[in-house]
Amino acid sequence: MKAVVQRVASAAVVVDREEVSRIGAGMAVLLGISKDDGPDEARRMAEKLSRLRIFEDREGKMNEPLGQREILCVSQFTLYADTSSGNRPGFHDAAPGELAEPLYEDVCRRLDARMGVFGAQMTVEISGDGPVTILIEV
């Protein structure tokens, strides 16, 4: 399981010109699920994200966890893109929808995260803070 995490001032998901999720300050998580992932990876990813210390403390150091801030989590199978044999990405390592969707929902539930719409064509609006972008794999 992979995640691209961005510290954000705000983030939103729009589907068919309708806003379906929005958060204020917190983190936007683009979550990729591989064909080899299962409940253990979902649990570990949620724990890692909830404890990730990417917010500034009173001294201006990245030392605080999420706390009362919000999370917007969007399923992102393209994190498992493979371009090793050309310029058109292949996605053979990405989990099929029937495996990925329940794991995505489990991570979001554990984090009490706002969600995108699984499998939908989405517009994701991210207003980065920092910018701070972290790659996580479990």
Are 11 and 69 within 8 A, CB to CB? no
68 tagged catalytic: no
6 tagged catalytic: no
Are 13 and 74 within 8 A, CB to CB? yes
SS3 77: helix
Residue type, 4: V
**Alpha helix stretches (DSSP H) within 8-135:** 39-51, 97-111
- Catalytic one of 6, 55, 77, 91: 77
- Catalytic one of 6, 76, 83, 118: 76
77 tagged catalytic: yes
- Catalytic one of 68, 78, 121, 133: 78
Q: How many residues does the chain have?
A: 138
The structure tokens 């371009």 sit at 83
Q: Which residues are catalytic?
A: 76-78
